[in-house]
Homo-oligomer: A and B are copies of this chain.
Amino acid sequence: MARRLVVIGGDAGGMAAISAARQEDSGLEVIALERTPYTSYSACGIPYVVSGAVDGPDRLIVRTPEQHRANGIDVRTGHEAVALDVEAASVTVRTGDGSYDLGYDALLLGMGGVPIRPPLPGIDLPFVRGVQTLDDAEALLSYASTHSCERVVVVGGGYIGLEMAEAFVQRGMQVTLLEQGAQVMASLDPDLGGLVTAAMERHGIDVRLHAAVTAFEPGTVVTADGPLDADLVVLGIGVRPNSGLAADAGLVLGAKDAVRVDRRQRTSADGVWAAGDCCESRHIVSGQRVHIALGTVANKQARVAGTNIGGGYATFAGVVGTAISKICDTEVSRTGLSSREAEGAGFAAVAVTIEGTTKAGYFPGAGPMTLRLIVERGRGRLLGAQIVGGDGAAMRINACAVAITTGLSVDQIAQLDLAYAPPFSSVWDPILVAARNALTQI
């Protein structure tokens, strides 16, 4: 009899795992359980559907359930895994009609993340919306089209919050962003976060830091500093690992209650694997276990899990925490450890910051670019990098991510053979300039 793989979660990660598993074992029976009607879509594209840049939620769908079925995968949409018995190797599945038990030889947990919804009075009012799933996006667009929405309050100053704020600005709405911390983009050093705030303010977004929301009332967001009128509230506070099912089944949890996995993406239970936002990762620089909810990480972990499930051998190298975003005309990216994270991981670190340009200074369209390198004192190893700048600035983070992954020090980085032509860079790319400056400061 064929081995049976059951996948909980039909998002891109889960489906990538299936593909990798079947490369190893073409006879594998595969059942994928997905509680929503959708499979394999780009949740990261939702802000751009909301802004109107992308033409409707359907554009984000990479593969429909029907396409997966045509590919021999038993995709069951509207089926939600509600319990796991690792002794019996069985999952309890709830459908619209009832429930059933499903045995597995291998189980992949790909439940993703749960949007954080603080238990505030009024949080379930209809004008308070999340933006995690395609369903959410459709509901939000439908709400916005049937209600007069001029004043939008976005709660949360992380990537999703900023992208949603941009989306509503582009729809011509009046946007207020509330962040309870001292800065937006908490994964940046505070002053770089300040550059992002300034960019948002330039585009008319009313950014309020240290803003504590205490309740929602129809038409009003109540904060510690007073009430705010709002036709629509969007929650962009981030996600926590959707690990309740795993915890109930007795699986070991790790960082931020994400499912603990080893380098092969094995959980603590035999035959049970995990990938994506529901599980943890190892940070290559700090060596610490972290929870980073990003599609890139999910996809790579899923392929590793799939290869192992299919009988092959693969390990996940870990993450350096690379992330990128865009707020109107300002690009933002980061990788490695921030100054605070470096300190937390026990490094003596020096932060080196330079102001450069995205192209040769004399070239039309050259924009400003602030680059920070976070460098290990003495030894000079690059620990982290952050960029805020104009068009073409942010993707320079990838070269830094590779340098961090491979443990380069700033003397090595200062001599990297990086590309130069006036439409792309100064003769000394800002990365080289910053590395040279760092040499005098470590």
Chain A interfacial positions (CB closer than 8 Å to B): 12, 42, 44-45, 48, 53-54, 59-60, 159, 163, 284, 294-297, 299-300, 316-326, 333, 335, 360, 362-364, 392, 394-399, 401-403, 405-406, 408, 412, 414-425, 427-429, 431
Are A398 and B399 interface neighbours, CB within 8 A? yes
The complex places the Cα of A60 from the Cα of B59 at a distance, in Å, of: 45
Chain B minimum-CB-distance residue to A436: B303
Q: Which residues of B contact A318 (CB under 8 A)?
A: 417
Given contacts A396-B398, A402-B399, contact A419 B362 (CB under 8 A): no
Taking a contact as CB atoms closer than 8 A, the residue among B42, B44, B54, B299 that contacts A364 in the complex is B54
Q: Which residues of B contact A12 (CB under 8 A)?
A: 427
A296-B417, A399-B402, A402-B416 given. 4 additional CB < 8 A pairs? Answer: A284-B417, A317-B412, A394-B424, A398-B431
Taking a contact as CB atoms closer than 8 A, the residue among B295, B317, B420, B429 that contacts A44 in the complex is B420
Taking a contact as CB atoms closer than 8 A, the residue among B159, B284, B415, B425 that contacts A317 in the complex is B415
Are B322 and A417 interface neighbours, CB within 8 A? yes
Min CB–CB distance A236 → chain B (angstroms): 14
Q: Which residues of B contact A392 (CB under 8 A)?
A: 392, 395
Min CB–CB distance A86 → chain B (angstroms): 28
Chain B minimum-CB-distance residue to A54: B362
Given contacts A402-B403, A419-B333, contact A427 B299 (CB under 8 A): yes
Are A427 and B362 interface neighbours, CB within 8 A? no
Are A59 and B362 interface neighbours, CB within 8 A? yes
Chain B minimum-CB-distance residue to A332: B421
A-B contact pairs, 25 of them (CB 8 A): A44-B360, A44-B420, A44-B421, A44-B427, A48-B363, A54-B362, A54-B363, A59-B362, A296-B417, A299-B428, A316-B415, A319-B417, A320-B417, A324-B419, A324-B425, A326-B421, A326-B424, A335-B417, A395-B396, A396-B398, A397-B419, A398-B419, A399-B399, A401-B418, A402-B416
